Structure 1
């Protein structure tokens, strides 16, 4: 008979229904099994890796860094929805929560959680579709998205239209709702 008491904290951490990860300067220091499985990895394959592994490109990795920094500095927390990259290359739409442990240097040490929103088939998007979708999720207009990406508003409208058609919805708001698991 095993006389060793169970490590309940570790059991709860690894069995949590949400992916949990601790980073220091955007490098994964520890994560639970749920987080690793969500992304198609083993825990030991992620520990020590840059958070870059979650994003399609270096540009996307750099752009996402500054999102929420002010909120982390002011409140210590940040919440959004974002598309992260599975090891197989497809995207996973997740509810993302972050809590910094060092508000004056918000990326120094951060605890994050990732919960998949849409349990349907994996999402495969082009780089441009990912960019537009992320900015739509931040409630930017086509003109604002175009300005940020250095494109014409018509190009952004074309991308939005393709996404709306592809996901079988009528409006951009319905598209975000579909990806969030809420029907529009």
Structure 2
């Protein structure tokens, strides 16, 4: 007899995973394919392998904890690493099953962002800067993280504002999070 819940999970059109303390306990085939792994190779592994650096893995841990503690879902866009080392841009969503300790048990979804439909095409550097902007980093902090000069980071920020036709970073981040006032998203 078919287990419809398992069937729906396994064949969902986005990557799904259940984690406990940032360890992958289960995931669907879409998740494994998105990241370039066999499903069995991910089960029991740290989410660390899906981030570019240890620093990135540790920095991103606390982002979104406040909404999760209030039993609200959390959404952002982030740069992730595939098994072959290439980077992909994903829309990330999370909902905790344990609000008192949000990372204890959490359900995650990942969907690839298609640049053609999601807005301007971004370079890998622009995506990195955008990710760090979404984490609230200053240009100096981003420059240190990326091994660039603050002036180079400022140039990338200016390019992002121009590409998205916005006047400041706050409006840019609001647009990307889908909370732009009066527009209801992108």
* TMscore range, shorter length: 0.7 to 0.9
Say which of 103, 106, 111 aligns to 2:102: 106
Say which of 154, 158, 162 aligns to 1:157: 154
- Which 5+ residue runs of structure 1 have no aligned equivalent? none
Structure 1 contact 101–111 (Cα < 8 Å) conserved: yes
TM-score by length of 1: 0.75
Say which of 3, 8, 12 aligns to 2:4: 8
Q: CA 1:44/1:137 → structure 2, altered by over 3 Å: closer, same or farther?
A: same
Q: Distance in 1 between matches of 2:27 and 2:102?
A: 19
CA displacement 1:95-147 (0-9 Å, x = unmatched): 11100011010000000000111167xx8836xx5542203346x5xxx5225
Say which of 161, 164, 171 aligns to 1:173: 164
Map 1:1-184 → 2, pairs under 5 A: 5-118=1-114, 125=124, 131-137=128-134, 145-149=138-142, 153-160=150-157, 164=159, 171-173=162-164
Q: CA RMSD in A?
A: 2.9
SS at match of 2:138: helix
Structure 2 contact 32–39 (Cα < 8 Å) conserved: yes
Largest Rg, 1 or 2? 1
Q: CA 1:75/1:134 → structure 2, altered by over 3 Å: closer, same or farther?
A: same
Q: Distance in 1 between matches of 2:45 and 2:3?
A: 26
TM-score by length of 2: 0.74
The number of residues matched between the two structures is 162
Pairwise CA distance, 1:90? 1.5
Structure 2 contact 71–96 (Cα < 8 Å) conserved: no
